[in-house]
Structure 1
Amino acid sequence: MARKLQWYRHLCNALSALTENPPKGLILLDTLVMQPRQLSLFPRSPAIMPSTIREKLITLLAEDLDFHSANSNYASHQFHSFPAKYPPQLPQKFIAALTEPGDAVLDPMMGSGTTLVEALLAKRQPIGFDTDPLAIRITKVKTTPLDKRKVLEAGNAILTKAHLLSHDQRHLLREEYRQDWDVSTAKFVEYWFDKETQSDLCVLMKEIRRISDESDTQLSSAEALVAFFELVFSAIIITKSGGVSLALDLAHTRPHRAKVIYDMKGDLLWGKEQLHQKHSRLQFISKKLRSVFDEFSDRFHRNVANLPSPEPDYLRPVIEYGDAQRLSLSDDCIDLIVTSPPYASNAIDYMRAHKFSLVWMGFSVNDLGKRRSQTIGGESTAGVVFDDLPSDTLKVVEEVANLDAKKGKVLHRYYSEMTRVLREMYRVLRPGKAAIVVVGSSVMRGRDTETGHCLADIGRAIGFDVPAIGIRNLDRNRRMLPAGATLNQSSQIQQRMHQEYVIGYIKPTKAEI
């Protein structure tokens, strides 16, 4: 008992000093609370006492959140490129400190599933939602254990049959695929993929889809195998170099088509005029075509090596298509939320890159365009429901609107959507539990949108206690800048993407209201 009292006094003294002199990068905030709801879905975990979670959260947010030297190439985290994802060490830190085994960990905007993978590794119950079809595929594959022997057998069979088929029916298959594409999708594929590449991709996808027809395993196992190889297929397209497409960069979401193209032998296919002009950035506008089969084989074997292994105490993740503004969860059922919402005004445009692989999985360009317009942070304001905003947040919106009325509406849309997201997070979180939101700011017409402070402002208005905001400095070389880009102090996209805010929210208990 004496040792516990000594530890408690030490913690109180440390927190007192922290409050009086917060370290650089930590912002301490006042709180405001409102009545929470009461309904449970998962069993309660009493291990984290509500009286200490605020202090723990402040301490965690004051620590190093950069993780620049940390190795993130473990487990299934590198299965597929995904723009602007945070390092796995970030959710790992909060999961380890704020939850116990068996607790429910939610990411309502899960993206590539980093939080869910870490929850699974820590033997927590992973729960995730997203409206991006590729995000759902990525997360399901990254959290689904498979028999490596069966995966290797299936992958080798796919490649063997695809090689044979490519000699006999490659162009027939391409024409068969074209019949299923509408005009817009066909034009998109023709512009962004060389004809030979198209044929090889058609052959590969046909063999992947045959798994479910020919497999003698259970249907769920066959579906998991198909999903695994579809993700390998996608991963050879969406890469920092643009993969097997004609794009120069797809990992950062803003594609540009190569102006100088060489075939796999190194012979020039087109772009002769660029060579004559001796373009100063020739290396950044040139691309050599790659073998679809070689790229698929390399990625397939890399991903197999990091497949999650079946375990007897495996907690099956809950992964569903769903809007974070309307979660299909009961009240008071979640023990921790760790998430990263999109930037305002589609600053990171996920769907623009993801359609490069989704068109091969049966999605049309027009359908994906509609989905893009409906995602949080979109630019369309037609038919949007605008929420009332707290005064400080409204002031930021009005200042942007004074510079550009349309941009002001776009920002109002974003903060309205995030109000509904935070309201849902408050509803599903258990009283006395925490939520972590990692968000970057945007610049509109030269005005910083102050996203971190505004989301804290909105959270307090909803009823959250927001004790602090941590600062995470981004490794620009590893995360945000497109291939070949150099630092440009006048670039708005580069200016706004050097830091992120890590906002800590706590849902008060009844006793604290």
Structure 2
Amino acid sequence: MLDADDRTLIASLSETADFQRKTGSAWSYSGDAGRTAAHGLIQYPAMMVPAMQRDILASMVRAAPKAKTVLDPFVGSGTALTETLAASRSFVGYDINPLAILIAKVKASPLHAGMYAAAAEQVLAWIAADTRSDYAVSFVNQSKWFKRSNSIGLSRIRRAIEKLDNIQCRRFMWVALAETIRRCSNSRTSTFKLHIRPSEDLERLDGVAIPIFTSVLKSNVERMIAEKARLRKLGVLVNGKMISTATIKLQSISKPGLDRGDSIDLVLTSPPYGDNRTTVPYGQFSYLALRWIPHADIDSSIDEALLDSTHSLDTASMGGGLRLDNVMIEELSEKSASFSKMYRQLLGIDRQAAKRWTAYCRDLSRALENILKTVNSGGYLAWTVGQRRIRSTDAPLVAVLGELHDYYGAYEVTQLKRAIPSKRMPTHNSIGSLMQIEHVCFYRKRLAS
């Protein structure tokens, strides 16, 4: 039974939709999907639409005005983080990917924009003065993924950044380096998997690392200055200090028995839509950047084993571990009838696909159990999820998500549905067609009796 707060949430979402219909399709954001200011520091897979998450968060805050802390258990490129701080709420974010953690830590520190600008001038001067041609790093297949001229250029960039004393400045530079690596490596930018570019594209890559870095760095400085100005205008950056805090944790939210040290009022997130290897390989996307960025500058708790190969991180991510047993499948089936039905369908089509679906739902269940342990009574959760297909069969992710919420103590408030014209996602892969529709599902943790 919905209460007055739930009806406030629904009404607020309806008002937003009504406003959008005057200029286009409700919730499409086809004309408002830009990544301005801090949102555009780097191109990351499957980034959420900032304006959409801003409106979703605003509606939840109207329903729960006393909410102080927002959780994104899959922090990714930090869209929810950036909008949470702009809404003067504190933020807690989890991610298993060190590159995501690096990006989040930079986006959480816009107040240092002036310091970044001064550091950028110094770094570019050091790069220009460096005439060395040796490599700062070496790794397996380095010559496959980088032309010699670009390995030299990236080495000069890395050496210059390492001279900076301030770790926040170094992190800001590493994000610019990560975007540079994406653009100058021999891997295609049209896919998140590591695939060699066509020969005609490779010919144009010679010696581009330093020019690309220079352009990205200058743009990113301007973006952070703009973000700082935005936050000051919104009143959340006062006298050089943020009025809200951000806590970023390099940890998988799906880890069984995760220590519950958070007190969460709202959840604003978009989870992986399937196991990384068959949907979006975040680890593979991040692999080359993490070869060049010193891991100690990201987080002291990095597990180096997860970065050993191009597939290690994706295997450790949601749905990547395929060790299953009948007891676990039975327990999951009791929690979600929709999972069980899909599992039985896939068994008759493709046993490996059935295993991947099971592994993903197992980790989603573990994640939700951990999340709802930290959410306070009456807290709202907003999930942006895709309705994908596996082996030409609709994967009922929305239904599974609803059933798992119900099992762990939350009820559905409402749902939105939208086409995804702007979310940067592949539309096909070797498993079959993926998703073209997104659902935003709103839940609420049941009030303590």
TM over 0.5: yes
CA contact (8 A) 1:262 1:289 kept: no
Partner residue, 1:382: 323
Partner residue, 2:397: 451
Residue 291 of structure 1 and its aligned partner are, at CA, apart by: 2.1
Once residues 35 and 396 of structure 2 are traced to their aligned partners in structure 1, the CA distance between those partners, rounded to angstroms, is 32
Once residues 432 and 306 of structure 1 are traced to their aligned partners in structure 2, the CA distance between those partners, rounded to angstroms, is 37
Residue 290 of structure 1 and its aligned partner are, at CA, apart by: 5.5
CA contact (8 A) 2:67 2:265 kept: no
Aligned residues: 405
Partner residue, 1:204: 157
Aligned residues: CA RMSD: 2.5
Once residues 313 and 96 of structure 2 are traced to their aligned partners in structure 1, the CA distance between those partners, rounded to angstroms, is 8
- 2:217 matches 1:300: yes
Query: Structure 1 residues 206 and 125, CA, compared in 2 at 3 Å: closer, same or farther?
Result: same
- 2:168 matches 1:224: yes
Partner residue, 1:372: 314
Once residues 96 and 411 of structure 1 are traced to their aligned partners in structure 2, the CA distance between those partners, rounded to angstroms, is 33
Once residues 51 and 443 of structure 1 are traced to their aligned partners in structure 2, the CA distance between those partners, rounded to angstroms, is 35
Partner residue, 1:28: none
Partner residue, 1:150: 115
Task: Give secondary structure in 2 for the equivalent of 1:320.
Answer: strand
Give the TM-score of the pair, scaled to structure 2.
0.83
CA contact (8 A) 1:193 1:245 kept: yes
Query: Structure 1 residues 494 and 391, CA, compared in 2 at 3 Å: closer, same or farther?
Result: closer
Task: Give secondary structure in 1 for the equivalent of 2:92.
Answer: strand
Identical aligned residues as a percent: 21
- Per-residue CA deviation, residues 120-152 of structure 1 (Å, 9 max, x unaligned), is 011101111111000000011012034444322
Partner residue, 2:187: 247
Partner residue, 2:271: 341
CA contact (8 A) 1:102 1:123 kept: no
Q: 2:413 aligns with which of 467, 478, 481?
A: 467
Query: Structure 1 residues 288 and 322, CA, compared in 2 at 3 Å: closer, same or farther?
Result: closer
Give the TM-score of the pair, scaled to structure 1.
0.73
Residue 492 of structure 1 and its aligned partner are, at CA, apart by: 7.3
Unaligned runs of 5+ in 2: 18-25, 229-236, 296-303
Q: 2:282 aligns with which of 330, 350, 367?
A: 350
Alignment of 1:470-509 (within 5 A): 470-475=416-421, 479-481=424-426, 495-509=433-447
Residue 95 of structure 1 and its aligned partner are, at CA, apart by: 2.0
Query: Structure 1 residues 341 and 148, CA, compared in 2 at 3 Å: closer, same or farther?
Result: closer
Query: Structure 1 residues 87 and 341, CA, compared in 2 at 3 Å: closer, same or farther?
Result: same
Which is greater in Rg? 1
Residue 493 of structure 1 and its aligned partner are, at CA, apart by: 7.3
Query: Structure 1 residues 320 and 452, CA, compared in 2 at 3 Å: closer, same or farther?
Result: same
CA contact (8 A) 1:61 1:469 kept: no
Name whichever of 494-503 and 450-459 sits farther off: 494-503
Task: Give secondary structure in 2 for the equivalent of 1:138.
Answer: helix
Task: Give secondary structure in 1 for the equivalent of 2:332.
Answer: coil
- 2:54 matches 1:54: no
Partner residue, 1:316: 245
Q: What is the letter of the counterpart of residue 225 of structure 1?
A: C
Q: What is the letter of the counterpart of residue 431 of structure 1?
A: S
Partner residue, 1:257: 196
Once residues 354 and 427 of structure 1 are traced to their aligned partners in structure 2, the CA distance between those partners, rounded to angstroms, is 30
Task: Give secondary structure in 1 for the equivalent of 2:140.
Answer: helix
Task: Give secondary structure in 2 for the equivalent of 1:377.
Answer: coil
Partner residue, 2:177: 233
For CA contacts below 8 A with separation 6 or more, give which structure has more relative contact order: 1
Task: Give secondary structure in 2 for the equivalent of 1:509.
Answer: coil
Q: 1:186 aligns with which of 127, 135, 140?
A: 140
Partner residue, 1:177: 137
Once residues 61 and 227 of structure 1 are traced to their aligned partners in structure 2, the CA distance between those partners, rounded to angstroms, is 37
Once residues 67 and 6 of structure 2 are traced to their aligned partners in structure 1, the CA distance between those partners, rounded to angstroms, is 22
Once residues 53 and 420 of structure 1 are traced to their aligned partners in structure 2, the CA distance between those partners, rounded to angstroms, is 28
